[in-house]
Amino acid sequence: MPEFLKSTARWLLRYLRDIGWRATRMFRVVAGIMAPVMLVMYIAERLGLVQMAGHALAPAMAFMDLPAEAGIIWATTILTNIYGGIAIIAALSGDLQLTVAQVSALGAMMLFAHNLPTEQAVVRRAGASALFTGSLRIVVGVAYGAAVAWICRLGGWLQDPVSFAWLRGTSDAAPGTLDFLPWLLATAQSLLLIWAVIVVLVVLLDILERLGATRLLTWALAPVLRLSGLEERAAPLTTIGMLMGLAYGGALIIDASEREQYSRRTLLLALTWLSLYHAVLEDTLLIAALGANVWIILVLRGVVVLLLLMALAALTRPQTRWGRRLRDA
């Protein structure tokens, strides 16, 4: 075999090993979240608690033109993360019936508000109000999700049903039955599919990074972020955090703020942006895999966030009451 082919084969093996290791490392973290959630949901479903929670959440979800199960999915996502919400979708997939519009609305809500206990702790440490940014994530998520679901319903758009069969195992037991082994096998199958999704995700993100697409996107979005009123020196860090995640972006801002002495207004704007719109590549791909419309969960959501940040920037200008309070804080 020619040396070139040998070296290529060695590089490919190293690359596959590295990708496999990264995906497996991520999966271990994800499985540590999803498996307990799925077990709790199994027990709750067998005891009839899921049906009870569904009845309690039905009025609120009906306001957003979503089934009651969507409330359970979103509540879990808020307390854990997007993978926790996916675990609930997998657990309820046998009975869950959603259209593309509803999946898009619910997916957008999950993207706006997830893992609030951890992520808003990062926001607080980075220098902004965790209560304000966390509340904003929930309020904007509800308003955006309701608007998407109702507008699409009234317009007759994106009304095709979405199948979650690929997330569902082979267990079809009714509530009240003890069928732990079939459920365990079905759960293992679901987790294996999630691992496969993570592998594809890691490969795709790696390809985008190697092609320079991530750096190009960072460069292209920096001027857009400046429209929100951010200081120019903070825009690149916010863009990187928007692409890589709130924890990563918050850590960058924490580190930079100690050197750059950002104003309270800049920290508020940057961290509000990151709270509402972060990890756009990874999280968007996950929600899109469930059947959501990319234009709704990525593009339109980004436009809405930009408009909100522009409004917040106007309300916090130095000459405004809120701006003076931030300056004197």
Tokens of 275: 């709270």
Helix (H) or strand (E) holding 99: strand 98-99
Band of pLDDT at residue 117, cut at 50, 70 and 90: confident
Confidence check: pLDDT of 123 > 90: no
Higher pLDDT, 2 or 132: 132
Residue 187 CB-half CA count within 13 A = 19
Stretch 314-319: mean pLDDT, rounded?
Answer: 89
The percentage of the chain sitting over the pLDDT mark of 70, rounded to a whole number, equals 84
Residue pointed to by tokens 């804080």: 329
Model pTM? Answer: 0.78
Residue-wise pLDDT for 6-47, tens only, equals 777 777 788 888 877 877 876 776 677 667 877 887 787 777
Q: How far is Cα 115 from Cα 119, in angstroms, rounded to an integer?
A: 6
- How far out from the chain centre does Cα 201 lie? 14
**Alpha helix positions (H), the chain:** 3-46, 49-63, 68-79, 82-92, 100-112, 116-126, 130-155, 180-210, 213-226, 235-244, 246-260, 264-276, 280-289, 294, 301-315, 321-328
Handedness of CA 126, 129, 130, 134 (dihedral sign): negative
Residue-wise pLDDT for 48-85, tens only, equals 776 677 678 788 899 899 998 899 999 888 887 888 88
In the three-class reduction of DSSP (H, G, I as helix; E, B as strand; rest coil), residue 162 is classed as: strand
Q: Give the Cβ contact number of residue 166 at 10 Å.
A: 13
Confidence check: pLDDT of 245 > 90: no
Residue-wise pLDDT for 88-99, tens only, equals 898 888 778 899
Residue-wise pLDDT for 164-210, tens only, equals 877 765 444 444 445 677 778 877 877 787 787 777 767 876 787 78
Q: How far is Cα 177 from Cα 142, in angstroms, rounded to an integer?
A: 35
Tokens of 99: 């259209």
In the three-class reduction of DSSP (H, G, I as helix; E, B as strand; rest coil), residue 245 is classed as: coil
Buried b (16+ CB within 10 A) or exposed e, 46-83: beeebeebbeebbeebeebbbbbbbbbbbbbbbebbbb
